[in-house]
Structure 1
Amino acid sequence: MTKQSCKSISYVIGDAAHTGSHVLPVNSIRSNGSDMLFTAGRDGALVVLDSDSNLCNHIQLHSDWCNDVVWHSGSTLVSCSSDLSVKWWDFDTNEHGLVGHHEDYVKAMCRVSSGHIVTGGLDKVVNTWDLETRSKLSSIDNTEGEMGSIYSMSSFERMVTFGDNKATISLFDTRSNEIVGRLDGHGDIVKSLVMGSNGQLLSGSSDGTVRLWDLKRLEEVKQYTFDGSIWSLYSDDVNLNKFYTGTSQGTLYETNQDLTKPLGQESSGLLSICKFQDELWSSNMGDSTMKNWNDAAKTKRGAPGLIKSRLLNNRRHVVTLSTDNEVVLWDIVKCRQLQKFGTDRAFEDVINQYQTQEILPTWCQVMIRAGQLFVVIKESNYTNTELYGDDIREYVLSRVNDDTRYTLGKMVLTSIFHRFVEYEMNKDQEIRELRMREIKGNSKLSLLTKFSSHDNTPQSSSLPTPVEESKQSYFDAVADQHHQQSLQVDDHAEDAHQLEESGNKRRLKLFSRKKSTISSVSTVEDERGMQEDIPEGSLPGSNETSRKPSEYDANSLGTLIVEARQFYQNATTLNSLSTSQWQPPPVEEVPLIDDLPENLHIIVNECINNSSSEVAIYSDELRNLQMTTLENVLPRWLGTYLLKNRCIVKDYSKVGFTIQPDSTSTGLPALAQGAGRLNAYSMLRVKRILTYITDRFEKPTTEMNQGLQADSWLQVLCHGKVLDNRMTLATVRSVIWKQSGDVILTFRRRQKETKAIL
């Protein structure tokens, strides 16, 4: 069965590694009940504080909001995120990995006494996970029409309560995997839940009320009304007689034996409340501060994070704005910061200053996620933008032709993965050489057999022949090469997940990968209607624990590798193995970008089934990219380009225009073909039009006889404005012509006083 999916590549510009201070609001504050405080932020980070509220450890675990975190056991935390994932992290060893994912934002989670983790999200699904095997144990659907999104959870022993946007609270028994009761009474989303050990429950809702429930009788016991929507609740009282409430207005309340009083006011809504070491902590939506209500000196003030970005017309520069109003200019090709403007310059003012008149199509999507600058590259857009050689000199060391167009997206992707391509080329050479030796062995043995055969030679033997040994050696090598791409999983082993170390940090790779067994080849049709031979079975390329062994990812680069290996396996002559199946783009066509930052964070994303957004299935710094893992997770479209130099050929837009002498022109010969209508690629430069004009003069001019270049003495105008020779037709049409119909261009001899329009 083919699992349809789409994949993209992202990279994060700036300091990808988290510094230990949240840069966006903190969604969840939790404690292990003794000596550790844990926080999860909208910057996708987790932070651990010790008993003295000092930083113990931190990690940038998610690529979007981290919505909740729970302590599992020992030094292991589990978190859930708007990047659709549920992940674990051991803050002692820095080991971390993927537990699984939902198909929409994962908003809430809890741990039950069995050690299992229960999660709920906007996909209206409650999942139960086994952390030891990284597998989903069960799933229940909470859908009721368009409603059913889950926003809150709490647990005691094996029982879980969850609240949704139907204003309903459900009681879920993890032992039977069934809903055993429902509580109705709230008038809006149930945003917060706290279960007591005495069979009672506190619930807070956007309707502005907190309600106390008896879970045994499934009845409401009491109701408390506050000044705004209830965003957070906390109680460490087993009988729930004393609890704390945070509202959307930023007010913190304490309720004790039905007596409620305000403790203080924040500038914005309270996202989370927690008591730790007898001190009360809270976070708010306005900034990344964690306030200590008992000791102001312990309050944790976060660092600034990015909140806004704009990609400029040149498709290379981006302007960003941070939470502290600092404006910065970035180059997304160099992957570096170009200039800081501090807080004195307005965001729009910097954009206006650096905006260009270039009209270029977009080759990537630029966005702010988790307080950082993300660049996302997809198959549908990476070939869109072409630049002339004189526009890319600052990016590359190799020599380029000024008048040749180079594809920007190809340059970026080739530069990011050039070590991977080198790895695959070397590996491919080894495989072909091994197969050549096997074919030579076959040939020699055939001659020996022909001249030394006897009638009494046994037809079979329990001992392998040299050819059989050679053949088996080859197939074993091919199998090893291929199977190393898959991460083996023993469901009963302690190392059911695979980790790869980098320095003193072990980074997230892939989990629950099954060995692939290739049984046969079948033909499938891709989204462009092209037929491809795809091996049946479970190919590498999926890290999702919900995928069955019979499913494979036909969109993985791994399928290309399998096809190449099968070609070599079926080859019977040395000549057919002399040329590699890989023909990567030549550097003359796609020059490498000079000196990309080694700490550039690279992410492979995948949109699976009906998920609302992509899931990050691989993440690492450029210097630590794991080659065998990339074979499994990189998209097939990227492999087709990197290893075969093939991509979708697009019909680029054209511009219709006419050329005629300018009204101020004198002494120039007429055009041999008059002022006929022309069509040209929108990226054609004015400089090329000058050459076209001189080529069609009925007779050469004095300048032409002197061998002068056309751009040194001739100029093109539109609406009476002299055009810069580097300007493209697309820019002329959009910036100068500014109307429908064919663009009318005129020409004349260059006038020294005239300043060209850039």
Structure 2
Amino acid sequence: MIRLWDLGQQRCVHSYAVHTDSVWALASTPSFSHVYSGGRDLSLYLTDLATRESLLLCTGEHPILQLAMHDDSIWVATTDSSVHRWPAEGRNPQKAFQRGGSFLAGNLSFSRARVSLEGSTPVPVFKEPTLTIPGTPGIVQHEILNNRRHVLTKDTAGSVKLWEITRGIVVTDYGKVSFEEKKEELFEMVSIPAWFTVDTRLGSLSIHLDTPQCFSAEMYSADLNIAGKPEDDKVNLARETLKGLLAHWLAKRKQRFGSQPSANGDLLSGKDISHRSITHSRIEIDSNAENDSMVYPPFEFSTVYPPSIITEGSHGGPWRKKITDFDGTEDEKDFPFWCLDCVLNNRLPPRENTK
């Protein structure tokens, strides 16, 4: 049901029963004489608010979520990841009604109480969009595996994939197989603390790290197949993942600032940040021997398909940037301090706080 409200009277003055299910998106002409509507019934309608005449412009395979007018066309976003552009006669909507097939909108919710002007069921005016921007299938199901390094996902196309979180890539595409059967097949009898959470509500794989819980998981270097490192050395998964994510930023920072000593010749640590002049970078790289800055292969992220970091620093709101877009000028105003303290100074929260 579409409702027209009078804000002065604070009441609904007209109702238009056009759709057979919930209306989720609206867009009007600049003069507010006509309105385009779409929703759960997969259909896009054009309605004259004065005459109540409506026209079915098109139907699709997915519910409509958003509409956006552009010149004589309208962009339609659905629960599918692709975006379509349809003809809409936005500058002169009456042209669309000249094609015939219109009907009078009823005024009872979901009743389809229409008086068809031509005595027939509405037929879509347009069969195909004029342009489609293809998207990738969205993730609709996921499972974190026991090794806490892999996540199994299933997308809208039915494809099941295995992701390696510490590298941000798909390591295996199983195709259209049973998600439950593949989950059972990949089960391992191991116990590693949960150090991240997963969110797929936007159709993509988002990994959340929260301190100090994210630093609770460790593995032996032998289990990670890290060459040149003692087999019994423990590797903190979150710390190495952060180092891999910020490797490009760290390299750019070294190129831009180098190792700038303080007055007494020592490199500044996180404790000394507040004493630096605001005209200079306020984070320095701790290059002492104890700071292992090497990024190991199990934590190397792709620069061809780089992941994005979404976070917020001490100033302003959240921001998003690909890991290859960092220019080295970002500091604690942009990143959480605990993240920089881990990457630059190799410091983790006290052990008792990570349990």
TM over 0.5: yes
Residue number among 44, 55, 64 corresponding to 1:270 in the alignment: 64
Deviations 1:274-299 (A, max 9, x none): 55554555343355352636351525
Q: CA deviation at 1:315?
A: 0.8
Matched, 1:306 2:102: no
Which of 302, 309, 328 aligns to 1:597? It is 302
1:223 to 2:52 alignment: no
- Structure 1 pair 425–381 and aligned structure 2 pair: CA distance change class (3 A): farther
Residue by residue over 1:597-626, the C-alpha shift from the partner in whole angstroms, topping out at 9 and shown as x without a partner, is 2242341513889xxxx95335233x4422
| Number of the residue aligned with 2:238 | 409
Name the residue aligned to 1:617: 319
Q: Structure 1 CA distance, aligned partners of 2:76 and 2:313?
A: 35
In 2, Cα distance between the equivalents of 1:334 and 1:273?
Answer: 36
Corresponding residue number in structure 2 for 1:483: 279
CA offset at residue 221 of structure 1?
Answer: 4.0
Cα distance, 1:268–1:645 mapped onto 2, change above 3 Å: closer
> In the alignment, is the contact (CA less than 8 A) between 2:342 and 2:348 conserved in 1?
yes
TM-superposed CA distance for 1:361, in Å, is 0.5
1:572-593 deviation per Cα after TM superposition (whole angstroms, max 9, x unaligned): xxxxxxxx97657543xx8632
Q: Does 1:431 align with 2:225?
A: no
| Cα distance in structure 1, aligned partners of 2:218 and 2:232 | 12
Q: Percent identity?
A: 20
1:474-508, Cα deviation, whole Å (9 max, x unpaired): xxxx63xx4244xxxxxxxxxxxxxxxxxxxxxxx
Cα 1:218–1:633 change in 2 (3 A) is closer
Partner of 1:25: none
2: CA distance between counterparts of 1:274 and 1:650?
Answer: 52
Residues 224 and 653 of structure 1, relative CA distance in 2, 3 Å threshold: closer
Query: Per the alignment, do residues 355 and 237 of structure 1 end up closer, same or farther by CA in structure 2, a change over 3 Å counting?
Result: same
Deviation (angstroms), 1:259: 2.9
- Structure-1 residue corresponding to 2:212: 380
Structure 1 or 2: more strand by fraction: 1
Write out aligned runs for 1:193-232 (5 A).
208-211=1-4, 213=6, 220-226=12-18, 227-232=20-25
**C-alpha deviation, 1:386, in angstroms:** 1.2
Distance 1:627 1:604, change over 3 A: farther
Q: Assess, with a 3 A threshold, how the Cα gap between structure 1 residues 583 and 269 changes in structure 2: closer, same or farther.
A: same
Partner of 1:243: 35
Q: What is the aligned-residue RMSD (CA, Å)?
A: 3.8
Q: How is 1:439-478 mapped onto 2 (pairs within 5 angstroms)? A: none
Secondary structure of 2:76 counterpart: strand
**Alpha-carbon distance in 2 for matches of 1:617, 1:289:** 24
The letter for the 2-side match of 1:317 is H
Aligned to 1:233: 26
Partner SS, residue 331 of structure 2: helix
Letter in 1 for 2:188: T
User: Contact 1:604–1:634 at 8 Å: present in 2 too?
Assistant: no
Deviations 1:45-99 (A, max 9, x none): xxxxxxxxxxxxxxxxxxxxxxxxxxxxxxxxxxxxxxxxxxxxxxxxxxxxxxx
Q: Which has the higher contact order (CA 8 A, sep 6+)?
A: 1
Residues 641-691 of structure 1: CA distance to partner in whole angstroms, max 9, x if unpaired? Answer: 23333222224999xxxxxxxxxxxxxxxxxxxxxxxxxxxxxxxxxxxxx
Task: Tell whether 2:337 aligns with 1:632.
Answer: no
Seen in structure 2, the aligned counterparts of structure 1 residues 584 and 326 have a Cα distance that, compared at 3 Å, is: farther
Report SS of the residue matched to 2:330.
Answer: helix
Mapping of residues 156-175 of structure 1, within 5 Å:
none
* Equivalence map 1:692-711=2 (5 Å): none
Structure 2 partner of 1:648? 349
Deviations 1:679-716 (A, max 9, x none): xxxxxxxxxxxxxxxxxxxxxxxxxxxxxxxxxxxxxx
In structure 2, C-alpha distance between the alignment counterparts of 1:631 and 1:298, rounded to whole Å: 47
Q: Name the amino acid aligned to 1:430.
A: Q
Alignment of 1:45-194 (within 5 A): none
Q: Shift of the alpha carbon at 1:219?
A: 6.2
Instruction: Identify if the C-alpha distance between structure 1 residues 308 and 607 changes in structure 2 by more than 3 Å, giving closer, same or farther.
Output: farther
What pairs with 1:556-567 in structure 2 (closer than 5 Å)? 558=282, 561=283
Contact 1:585 / 1:644 at 8 angstroms: preserved in 2? no
Distance 1:351 1:431, change over 3 A: same
Rounded to whole Å, the distance in 2 between the matches of 1:337 and 1:585 is 33
Classify 1:583/1:307 alpha carbon distance in 2 versus 1 (closer, same or farther; 3 Å): farther
- Corresponding residue SS for 1:431: coil
2:254 and 2:289 map into 1 onto residues whose CA distance is 10
CA distance in 1, matches of 2:256, 2:53: 74
Equivalent in 282, 288, 296 of residue 76 of structure 2 = 282
Equivalent residue, structure 2, for 1:55 = none
Write the letter of the residue equivalent to 1:243: V
One-letter amino acid of the structure 2 residue matched with residue 318 of structure 1 = V
CA contact (8 A) 1:209 1:229 kept: no
Asked if the contact 1:210/1:230 (under 8 Å) is kept, the reply is no
Which residue does 2:46 correspond to in 1?
Answer: 254
SS at match of 2:243: helix
Normalising to structure 2: TM-score of the pair?
0.69
- Read off the aligned partner of 2:237 and give its amino acid letter: L
Deviation at 1:302, TM superposition (A): 3.5
Q: Which runs of 5+ in 1 are unaligned?
A: 1-207, 437-477, 486-557, 565-579, 655-758
Residues 631 and 326 from structure 1, CA distance in 2 versus in 1: closer, same or farther, beyond 3 angstroms? same
Structure 2: give runs of 5+ residues left out of the alignment. Answer: 87-124, 266-275
| Residues 286/419 of structure 1: CA separation in 2 closer, same or farther (3 Å cut) | closer
Q: Secondary structure at the match of 1:430?
A: coil
State the partner residue of 2:185.
Answer: 353
**What are the Cα deviations for residues 221-248 of structure 1, in whole angstroms up to 9, with x where unaligned?**
43323433332233326261x4333243
Does the CA contact (< 8 Å) of 2:314 and 2:336 recur in 1?
Answer: no
